[in-house]
C-alpha cells in the first residue's frame, strides 16, 4: 500500500457533521495567543525527532512556524502539520501516553511546548476557551480513530480478497500439478508422476519392502491394426482399470507409455509381488475369454498381458529396477506372452 502525506485527514462519509473549527487541527487566533502566553517556545531543526512511536510523553506541541511530519507507521497515512496546528495533545490530556506516531521536523521552525502545569494555568485563566479546545481535541481523536478503523477494515477486505485469489491460484496449481503427473488416456500416473512418487519415497526413506510389476500388452499393435486406434485406446483403459483395482494405499499404478504399465506395490516377498502379477494376468486372460456379442468382428476390449516382476533393492534406483523387471518381461514375451516371469536381483549376484 502506498503511503501518502496529507495536511488534513479528509472527512469521510458516515462521520458526524461538525462545524469546521470543531475538527480542525489548527488553533484559533485566540487560543494561539493564550497558548503562546503560557507555553514554552522551542526551536526545532529540519530532521529533528521530537518523539517516536511508543515513547511515553506528556508534552503537547503547537507549531508556531515550520512543519512537522507525523508518521503512524504500518502503511497508515502520514500527516504533515503546519503553523497553528497542534499535536501530542493526548500525552498532555491523559498523562503518560505512548505516542502513536513518530514526530519529525521537516523544516526548521518554532514550537510552543505545553506541559501539564502550563495547561493547568490555561484552565485557570480561560476555562471557556480551554473547554472549547478540549472538545475539539477529543472530536479530532474520535475522528482519527474512526478513519483508522475504516482504513483497517478496507485493508482487511483487500487482504481477504488477496487471500481468496491466492487460494484460487493454489487450487489451480494443484490441479495443474495433478494433470501433469497424470496420463490423459487412462488416468493413471504417468512417468513424471512415478518419478515424483519415487523421489518422495526416497526423501522419506520408504523405498524398502516394495515390488515392481512391469506389464506389457501382448500383440497390441495387432489390436490397433485390426480394430483401429480407438478400440486400442479402450483396451489400454481396460488394462489400466485392472491395475487401478489392485493398488492399495501408498502403492502406485502407472502407464509408462504406449502399451507398457507398471505397479509399485508394498510387498516384502516374492510371493506377495507374484500374487499381484498373477491376479492381473489371470484377470486379463479371463476377460479375453468372456464371449462378446455374436456379431462377427466384435472384439474383447482387453488383450492378454505379459508381466515381469521383481523385488526392489532400496539402495538402487529406477533404472536398475526397471532393467531387472524388464529381463523377466522379455522372457515372458519370448515364451509366448500371457504369463508372469520373475527376476531375482541379478545385479547383486554379479
Ligand atoms: N491405441 C493406441 N495405441 C498406442 C498408443 N500408444 C502406443 N500405441 C501403439 O501400441 C503399439 C505397441 O506395439 P509394440 O511395442 O510393437 O508391441 P506389441 O504389438 O504389443 O508387441 P509385443 O509387445 O511384442 O506383444 C504400437 O503400434 C503403438 O502405435 C495409444 O495411446 N493408443
Q: Ligand 1 centroid vs 343 CA: distance in angstroms?
A: 24
Task: Find out whether 84 and 110 touch, Cβ atoms under 8 Å.
Answer: no
**Using CA of residue 296, residue 297, residue 298, residue 299, what is the dihedral sign?**
positive
0.80 surpassed by pTM: no
Q: Mind listing the domains of the chain with CATH numbers? A: 19-153 (2.60.120.10), 191-349 (3.30.70.270)
Q: How far apart are CA 287 and CA 350, in angstroms?
A: 40
3-state secondary structure of 96: coil
Cα 272 to averaged position of ligand 1 atoms, centre (Å): 29
Q: How confident is the model at residue 24 (pLDDT cuts 50, 70, 90)?
A: low
Whole-number percent of the chain with pLDDT over 90:
60
pLDDT in tens, 98-122: 898 999 999 999 999 999 888 888 8
CB 331 within 8 A of CB 341: yes
Overall average pLDDT of the 211-218 stretch:
97
What would the grid cell of residue 134 be?
478540549
Give the up-direction half-sphere exposure of residue 339: CA atoms within 13 A in the CB hemisphere: 11
Q: Which residue has the cell 472549547?
A: 132
- In this structure, which residue's CA is closest to atom 32 in ligand 1? 233
Question: Which ligand 1 atom sits nearest the alpha carbon of residue 230?
Answer: 1
pLDDT band at 20 (very low <50, low <70, confident <90, very high): very low
Q: State if residue 183 touches ligand 1 by the CB under 6 angstroms criterion.
A: no
- Per-residue confidence band for 14, with pLDDT thresholds at 50, 70 and 90: very low
pLDDT at 15: 36
User: Please, what is the end-to-end C-alpha distance for the chain in angstroms?
Assistant: 67
Please choose from 185, 219, 220, 235 the residue to mutate so as to test ligand 1's pocket, defined by most ligand atoms within 8 A of CB.
Answer: 220
Q: Is 146 exposed, middle or buried (0-12, 13-18, 19+ CB in 10 A)?
A: middle
- Residue 67 confidence (pLDDT): 96
Region 314-334: what's the mean pLDDT? Answer: 95
Which of 137, 43, 26, 23 lies closest to 84, judged by CA? 26
Question: Buried b vs exposed e over 120-138: b needs ≥16 C-beta within 10 Å?
Answer: eebeeebeebbebbeebbe
- Report the candidate in 83, 81, 89, 84 with the shortest Cα–Cα distance to residue 114: 89
At residue 266, does pLDDT exceed 70?
yes
pLDDT at residue 152, rounded to an integer:
85
Distances (CA, A) of 48 to 68, 199, 279: 9, 59, 84
132 CB under 6 A from ligand 1?
Answer: no
Ligand 1 nearest-atom number relative to CA 337: 25
Banded pLDDT at 3 (limits 50, 70, 90): very low
Nearest CA to ligand 1 atom 24: 219
pLDDT tier at 348 (50, 70, 90 boundaries)? low
Q: Is 239 in the pocket of ligand 1 (CB under 6 A)?
A: no
Between the CA of 216 and the centroid of ligand 1 the distance, in Å, is 9
ipTM: 0.97
Backbone angles phi, psi at 273, to 5 degrees: -65, -40
| pLDDT number for residue 166 | 93
Q: Is the pLDDT of residue 1 over 50?
A: no
26-82 pLDDT, tens digit per residue, is 888 888 998 999 999 999 999 999 999 999 988 999 999 999 999 988 766 788 999
Counting atoms of ligand 1 from 1, which one is nearest the CA of 259? Answer: 10
Mean of pLDDT over the chain: 87
**How many angstroms is it from 238 CA to the middle of ligand 1?**
15
**Residue with CA at minimum distance from ligand 1 atom 12:** 221
Q: Compute, in angstroms, the gap from residue 219 CA to the centroid of ligand 1.
A: 8
Residue with CA at minimum distance from ligand 1 atom 8: 258
Residue bearing the bigger pLDDT, 124 or 185: 185
**Ligand 1 centre distance from Cα of residue 220 (Å):** 5
**How far is the C-alpha of 266 from the C-alpha of 210, rounded, in Å?**
5
For residue 335 and ligand 1, the question of a CB distance below 6 A is answered with no
Sheet hosting strand 340-342, strand order edge to edge: 252-257, 260-266, 210-217, 305-311, 340-342
The tens digit of pLDDT for each residue in 287-316 reads: 877 766 545 555 567 889 999 999 999 889
Amino acid at each position: 500500500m502506498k503511503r501518502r502525506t496529507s495536511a488534513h485527514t479528509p472527512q469521510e462519509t458516515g462521520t458526524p457533521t461538525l462545524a469546521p473549527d470543531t475538527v480542525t487541527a489548527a488553533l484559533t487566533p485566540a487560543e494561539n495567543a493564550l497558548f503562546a502566553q503560557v507555553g514554552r517556545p522551542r526551536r526545532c531543526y529540519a530532521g529533528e525527532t521530537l518523539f517516536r512511536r511508543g515513547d511515553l510523553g506528556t508534552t503537547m506541541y503547537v507549531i508556531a512556524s515550520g512543519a512537522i511530519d507525523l508518521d503512524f507507521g504500518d502503511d497508515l497515512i502520514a500527516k504533515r502539520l503546519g503553523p497553528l496546528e497542534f499535536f501530542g495533545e493526548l500525552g498532555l490530556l491523559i498523562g503518560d501516553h505512548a505516542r502513536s506516531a513518530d514526530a519529525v521536523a521537516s523544516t526548521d521552525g518554532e514550537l510552543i511546548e505545553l506541559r501539564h502545569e502550563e495547561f493547568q494555568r490555561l484552565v485557570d485563566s480561560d476555562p471557556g476557551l480551554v473547554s472549547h479546545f478540549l472538545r475539539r481535541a477529543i472530536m479530532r481523536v474520535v475522528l482519527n480513530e474512526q478513519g483508522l478503523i475504516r482504513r483497517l477494515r478496507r485493508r482487511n477486505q483487500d487482504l481477504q480478497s488477496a487471500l481468496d485469489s491466492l487460494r484460487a491460484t493454489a487450487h489451480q496449481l494443484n490441479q495443474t500439478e495433478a494433470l501433469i503427473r497424470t496420463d490423459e488416456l487412462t488416468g493413471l500416473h504417468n512417468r513424471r508422476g512415478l518419478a515424483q512418487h519415487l523421489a518422495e519415497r526416497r526423501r522419506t526413506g520408504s523405498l524398502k519392502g516394495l515390488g515392481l510389476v512391469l506389464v506389457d500388452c501382448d500383440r497390441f499393435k495387432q489390436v490397433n491394426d485390426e480394430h483401429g486406434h480407438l478400440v486400442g485406446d479402450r483396451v489400454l483403459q481396460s488394462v489400466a482399470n485392472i491395475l487401478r483395482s489392485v493398488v492399495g494405499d501408498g502403492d502406485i499404478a502407472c502407464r509408462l507409455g504406449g502399451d507398457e504399465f507398471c505397479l509399485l506395490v508394498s510387498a516384502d516377498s516374492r510371493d506377495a509381488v507374484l500374487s499381484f502379477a498373477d491376479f492381473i494376468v489371470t484377470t486379463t486372460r479371463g476377460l479375453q475369454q468372456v464371449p462378446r456379442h455374436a456379431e462377427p468382428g466384435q472384439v474383447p476390449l482387453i488383450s492378454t498381458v505379459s508381466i515381469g516382476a521383481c523385488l526392489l533393492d532400496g539402495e538402487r534406483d529406477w533404472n536398475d529396477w526397471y532393467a531387472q523387471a524388464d529381463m523377466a518381461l522379455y522372457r515372458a514375451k519370448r515364451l509366448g506372452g500371457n504369463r508372469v516371469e520373475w527376476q531375482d536381483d541379478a545385479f547383486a549376484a554379479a
